[in-house]
């Protein structure tokens, strides 16, 4: 039972809600981890606040014997911080782009109750372009991928995805295989 419970944390073939029977996920994209590291860095600073405050006001706390209160307030602070960290991680994790052998599903999680999902079928893709902007994006190899659909429909932009060139190649392969009928082999 424990083994089956732990199996959900092991790597497995991805699946998602609304997946067709013979539909396979080719790529699962999230924003580059660098984007979340910046926020985590801010939370690390916030983590230090009670420690710094405790050191600064140590004599004041010891005179009034307020250590219990201080520790309690600190624990509340850390609870809030824990919540904030995982709120950010949740939004980061749920912002996904799924590239399957049939379509592209872009899921944008703006807030916990603010979600936008767009879907684009492979046979409607016309043009794919990438945009890497700045030194950090160049060195860490992430950038935006823009997918232009047929007709004058809106563009699909996947922001700050890792290795945008590879993503572009995969999408183009998918599109080509859809048009030619030959199944693409993604490397």
Of 36, 53, 61, 94, the one binding another protein by CB under 8 A: 94
Smallest separation, CB 75 to another protein (Å): 4
Report the alpha-carbon distance of residue 141 to residue 178 in Å, rounded: 28
Among the listed ranges 5-13, 47-55, 140-148, 154-162, the one in contact with another protein (CB under 8 A) is: 5-13
Q: Which is nearer to another protein, 87 or 183 (CB)?
A: 87
Residues β-bridged to residue 131: 144
Among the listed ranges 46-54, 106-114, 141-149, 150-158, the one in contact with another protein (CB under 8 A) is: 106-114
Smallest separation, CB 113 to another protein (Å): 8
Smallest separation, CB 19 to another protein (Å): 10
Report the alpha-carbon distance of residue 86 to residue 116 in Å, rounded: 20
126 lies in the site for another protein, by CB under 8 A? no
89 lies in the site for another protein, by CB under 8 A? yes
Smallest separation, CB 81 to another protein (Å): 9
Q: Which of 120, 111, 112 is nearest to 145 (CA)?
A: 120
Which residue's entry shows tokens 């710094």?
Answer: 52
Q: Which of 46, 52, 103, 108 is nearest to 80 (CA)?
A: 46
Q: Phi/psi at 117 (nearest 5 deg)?
A: -120, 130
Report the alpha-carbon distance of residue 91 to residue 97 in Å, rounded: 13
Task: Tell me whether strands 125-131 and 114-121 are parallel, antiparallel or unpaired.
Answer: unpaired
Of 10, 45, 134, 151, the one binding another protein by CB under 8 A: 10
* Residues 16 to 75 in contact with another protein, rule: CB under 8 A: 16-17, 28, 30, 64-66, 68-69, 71-72, 75
116 lies in the site for another protein, by CB under 8 A? no
User: Total number of residues binding another protein (CB under 8 A)?
Assistant: 37
CB atoms within 10 A of CB 158: 24
Q: Are 23 and 102 in contact (CB under 8 A)?
A: yes
Helix (H, G, I), strand (E, B) or coil at 104: strand
- In the complex, the residues that contact another protein under the rule CB under 8 A are 8-12, 14-17, 28, 30, 64-66, 68-69, 71-72, 75-76, 78-80, 82-83, 86-87, 89-90, 93-94, 96, 98, 107, 109, 112, 115
């Amino acid at each position: 039972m424990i083994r089956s419970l732990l199996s959900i944390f092991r790597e497995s073939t991805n699946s998602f809600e609304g997946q067709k029977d013979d539909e396979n996920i080719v790529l699962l994209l999230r924003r580059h981890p660098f984007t979340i590291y910046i926020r985590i860095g801010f939370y690390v600073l916030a983590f230090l606040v009670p420690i710094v405050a405790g050191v600064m006001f140590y004599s004041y706390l010891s005179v009034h014997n307020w250590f219990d209160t201080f520790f309690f307030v600190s624990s509340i602070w850390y609870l809030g911080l824990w919540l904030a960290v995982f709120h950010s991680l949740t939004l980061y994790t749920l912002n996904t782009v799924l590239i399957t052998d049939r379509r592209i599903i872009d899921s944008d999680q703006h807030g916990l109750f603010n979600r936008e999902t767009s879907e684009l079928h492979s046979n409607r893709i016309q043009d794919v372009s990438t945009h890497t902007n700045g030194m950090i994006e160049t060195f860490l190899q992430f950038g935006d991928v823009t997918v232009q659909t047929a007709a004058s429909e809106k563009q699909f932009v996947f922001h700050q995805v890792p290795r945008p060139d590879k993503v572009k190649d995969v999408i183009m392969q998918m599109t080509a295989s859809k048009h030619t009928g030959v199944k693409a082999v993604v490397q």
